[in-house]
A and B are shown apart, each in its own frame.
Chain A
């Protein structure tokens, strides 16, 4: 299906840890925000990344586009190894990978007009001709459904949905190949969410873009993504094409997550899978499988052996001892 497609971004065992310092500044611990994730995104695909708070999906999104430097592992952008490239050397890549942020109210500089915000991006990348900058900016505004007179307005004169469109325009203006969308519709009203989601899909179709779509709303992720990766405590626990994931969730966490999603069908009965306990801290994650402390199927082995990702169906892999080392679970 997507075997022959070009790989836009590839992560191999990426880890992003944040040091925890004491009052004297010495490192006493690490927050293991992203703890060994391997995945890839293909050209023209929308890869949905889901998980709850603290799973590290935002951190991973930022690591993918090198806003953060991975502590370990390998990151390849458009075929080039960018794992430890300096910020300066990364600048040519910045036009290829962009980000859309969650909060439309703080992601735009309130003191700059919308048009200036867009033109500034072009100017940073060396476009000197002011008229050319202006016409490209205008064109991009049109692409996202805004109007010419919006060029000279300040962000606070727009609604949340329109501001998000400006954010999308800003990400699009350099004609990137991949856009990481960090919860782009979570802060918007339902009716506006639909407009922005439709827009994102349309832009992908028109420009052959790839997205990493980070969200916690499962119904939105299901609608927009081609493939989905489920994260828990810094690990990727399952990855599959969308329909497959919803039809046959393999990992216990995915099952529980899907059972918790409220259905807008009042006739459906909820079959909730209740997880015990709380999400552990990423500073001190559980040994073995990180999910074993809350898993309804956990055995003793799960607390000792960390499962690897295993393919369970075409394009569908999961990290659970049930599929990785089933014999260990029988003990």
Chain B
């Protein structure tokens, strides 16, 4: 019964990479769900593992030499990590789609925008060229590109950054996926264009009932667009809740620190910004056997440095990985 309410369920996912310095765990026991029609925001700074998580869901890494997955990823009850490469290919682009940060490098410069939208239609749905092109025009209209019949014949470099990102979204939507993974889709865009794209994603989420997993470091985008938020630090989820709980009542000191490091639009301009002490350590130097955030945490106790806290539900739907976050403060 739970499967019908969830599109994606990630269960203790770990992704490790074979490097010269040994096996590095970029994602360590991450669990979360994306409900049907829900927009989940995966937030963190560089090195937290959010991009690796999203690419692991689609198994985009080379599994022979580079990456090693553990755990389960259930799409409507089916474990993606247990599928064969051929079966996985059927999922990518049709049931789960992904859009990336830089639309210019994600689009092939030598093919027209139209033919790139046609590709997933022809591969997954077996349409012929003519049928696919008609659908492509429809899709461009869906993503609010004016004069789609003309645009469909243009090349990526002829379009602006915002339009290219819409084309990417059109390609991603071509086969009506159940889940759209958006990996920093607006980081490279101007703020007005960013607003348009995020509005579009919300509109499509409502219109098509499509679940979205939004990966970003921009808390403002998260506050405006997402339903639920998961905060990541050094490969682990440290807090997970609906967006009001996260912003109004952040329990994890890192979440609290992030929120308060950002200048608020109505904040006090005279006080120095709160800043989290120290820096994110290298993956190869991640502290083991203790809370990973302890060395930078203003509230850390001796206990925090000795044992790794588990993710616990402190209030219904609000999970925190912190010894102090259980409301004792």
Contacts and interface: CB of A to CB of B under 8 A. Distances in A.
* A and B assemble together: yes
Interface of A: 52-53, 159, 161-162, 189-195, 197-198, 201-202, 216-220, 222-224, 242-243, 246, 256-257, 259-268, 270, 272, 274-275, 278-279
B275 A191 contact: yes
A198 B265 contact: no
A260 B267 contact: no
Contact of B263 (A53, A161, A202, A220): A220
B267 A262 contact: no
Contact of A278 (B160, B247, B259, B269): B160
B224 A219 contact: no
A257 B265 contact: no
A194 B220 contact: no
Interface stretch (B84-92, B111-119, B187-195): B187-195
B142 interface: no
Lowest 7 CB-CB distances: which A-B pairs, in order? A262-B220, A223-B263, A194-B261, A260-B195, A52-B190, A194-B275, A189-B45
B192 A265 contact: no
Classify the interface of chain B: helix, strand, loop or mixed.
helix
A194 B198 CA distance: 25
Contacts of A224: 263
Classify the interface of chain A: helix, strand, loop or mixed.
helix
- Chain B's interface size range is 35 or more
Interface string B268-285: 010011111001100000
Contacts of B219: 190, 264
B102 to A, nearest CB: 14
Contacts of B218: 262
A222 B220 contact: no
A162 B199 CA distance: 36
A191 B261 contact: yes
A189 B276 CA distance: 11
A216 B274 CA distance: 21
Interface of B: 45-46, 160-163, 190-196, 198-199, 217-221, 223-224, 243-244, 247-248, 257-259, 261-265, 267, 269, 272-276, 279-280
Given A53-B161, A219-B220, 17 more contacts: A162-B279, A189-B46, A191-B275, A194-B275, A197-B273, A201-B272, A217-B191, A218-B191, A219-B262, A219-B265, A222-B263, A257-B191, A261-B265, A262-B195, A264-B220, A264-B264, A265-B223
Contact of B198 (A202, A217, A218, A262): A262
Nearest to B246: A266
Given A189-B280, A272-B199, A263 B191 contact: no
Contacts of A191: 45, 257-258, 261, 275-276
Given A191-B276, A264-B247, A278-B160, A242 B191 contact: no
24 contacts: A53-B190, A189-B217, A190-B258, A193-B261, A194-B261, A197-B263, A197-B273, A198-B272, A216-B190, A218-B191, A219-B263, A219-B264, A224-B263, A242-B269, A246-B265, A260-B194, A262-B198, A262-B221, A263-B223, A264-B223, A264-B264, A265-B247, A266-B247, A279-B160
A161 B278 CA distance: 10
B244 A264 contact: no
Given A216-B191, A274-B196, A263 B220 contact: yes
A261 B258 contact: no
B195 A272 contact: yes
Nearest to A269: B224
Contact of A263 (B160, B224, B269, B276): B224
A198 B273 contact: yes
A159 B279 contact: yes
Nearest to A253: B192
Nearest to B162: A278
B192 A260 contact: yes
A260 B265 CA distance: 12
Nearest to A260: B195
